[in-house]
Amino acid sequence: MYGNYQMLDCFSVLNVPTLIPINTNCNIYECDLNMCAIKSASTYPDCQMIPEMQWKIDPMYSSCCNLFIKDILELPLYTGSQENTFMYKNHPIRLVSLMGIVVKVEEKSQFFIYGVSVTSAQSLVDRMERWHLEQLTCLQVGDLIHLRGRLRMYRNAMQISVFSYGKVIDPTHSFEVTHMDSQITKYQRVYDVPFCTNSHLDKAMESRKRPKKSFKEHIHKSKNKNLAPQIVAVLKEAIKNLLHKGLIFKSKRMKGLHYLTLANKQLKKEVCHILKKDCQKKHYLNGCHFLHIYDTVINCDDFQCLTHVALKFAFKLFRARRSDSQFQ
């Protein structure tokens, strides 16, 4: 029949018999990318490039990006990289995931070629029809497939090495529609927003440094104004008071370091440990004496400068917390 011949011209094979691929690698080909690459690189001049060290911070680097075919074809190589990492805005991209309809099936001696068109919508998107999938098996024209793969440059053409693909069985087509919808949302919220690691990191670093700096500067400044002795005196007084009340205690390891009795989890752990261990002994069956615990605690770790008062305060606190929890 004439019609059928024409059809075979356009789609070489329509009904593909089940066939096991000889190689498991599936390749998608497209050509003529250079022009596009130059154009899109100049389109986003304000995006700062991320240095290679920081690529992994961008989530798009390690995830399968759901880009439009047109965008994938126009992806330029990431400036400064020799490997197969591409750039969308300033996001580094390695992996892509696509969903589309098979529009062309071609039989070769060793494998099948499939042209795939992305589901519905814009003219841009439908350029997936120009893509070829090799060695997919038992797919027919009109089937919906989903694939994930690694981007690669092959003879100046973009190629996707597919590591997973499959036919999507979707009787209500809801998956297809939601996929289309979510793709735009992803574009608007993630892909189109330039990633700014540098400024992020710098800001974070600055904010970390700032309090220390400002405190030191403050002290220095006040020194100049002869206010330093006053401030130091007030601080010393306050620390003395706190030490006296047992709210803080000194550290032996570092000079000038003080621990908060309230927040020191290590102290509580240590006390609990001693109680558990010693109450099993015959001598302490009815419980340990405070001084015994104090002696033991002082011998361990960094509690050499722990005072009686501080430990008593800690005990009070434990008791109060325990009773609270009992009431609750």
- Kindly tell me which residue out of 3, 17, 211, 256 binds other proteins, with binding defined by CB under 8 A: 3
Question: In terms of C-beta distances under 8 Å and separation of at least 24 residues, what long-range contacts does 76-84 make, across chains too?
Answer: 76/36, 76/37, 76/38, 76/40, 76/41, 77/37, 77/153, 78/49, 79/41, 79/49, 80/49, 80/52, 81/52, 84/150, 84/151, 84/152, 84/153
The 96-135 site mask, x for binding other proteins (CB under 8 A), equals: -----x-xx--------x-x-x--xxxxxxxxxxxxx-x-
Q: Which stretch binds other proteins (CB under 8 A): 28-36, 193-201, 247-255, 286-294?
A: 28-36
Enter the DSSP assignment of 126. Answer: G
Site for other proteins in 179-238 (CB under 8 A): 180-181, 184, 187-188
Rounded Cα gap, residues 302 and 294, in angstroms: 13
Contacts of 70 (CB under 8 A, 6+ apart): 124, 125, 127
Tokens found for residue 269: 């752990």
Main-chain dihedrals φ then ψ at residue 307, nearest 5 degrees:
-95, 165
Smallest gap from Cβ 51 to other proteins, in A, equals 25
Site for other proteins in 144-163 (CB under 8 A): 157
Instruction: Determine the size of the site formed for other proteins (CB under 8 A).
Output: 47
Smallest gap from Cβ 71 to other proteins, in A, equals 10
Smallest gap from Cβ 140 to other proteins, in A, equals 10
**Per CB under 8 A, 29 contacts other proteins:** yes
The 8-27 site mask, x for binding other proteins (CB under 8 A), equals: --xx--x-------------
Tokens found for residue 304: 């050499």
Closest to other proteins by CB, 81 vs 97, is 97
Closest to other proteins by CB, 177 vs 227, is 177
Q: Which of 98, 231, 80, 224 is CA-nearest to residue 158?
A: 98
Burial, 160: exposed, middle or buried (Cβ in 10 Å; 0-12, 13-18, 19+)? buried
Q: Concatenated DSSP letters for 174-195?
A: HHHHHHHHHHHHHIIIIITSPP
Smallest gap from Cβ 111 to other proteins, in A, equals 10
Do residues 75 and 88 touch, judged by C-beta distance below 8 A? Answer: yes
Smallest gap from Cβ 44 to other proteins, in A, equals 8
Rounded to the nearest 10°, the torsion over CA 187, 192, 193, 194 is 140
Helix (H) or strand (E) holding 34: helix 34-43
Q: Which stretch binds other proteins (CB under 8 A): 37-45, 220-228, 246-254, 267-275?
A: 37-45
Cβ neighbours of 60 (radius 10 Å): 20
Matching residue, tokens 């789609």? 11
Smallest gap from Cβ 230 to other proteins, in A, equals 58
**Per CB under 8 A, 38 contacts other proteins:** no
Smallest gap from Cβ 74 to other proteins, in A, equals 12
Q: Which stretch binds other proteins (CB under 8 A): 92-100, 177-185, 204-212, 231-239?
A: 177-185
Residues in contact with other proteins by the rule CB under 8 A: 1, 3-4, 6-7, 10-11, 14, 29-31, 42-43, 45, 101, 103-104, 113, 115, 117, 120-132, 134, 141-142, 157, 171-174, 177, 180-181, 184, 187-188
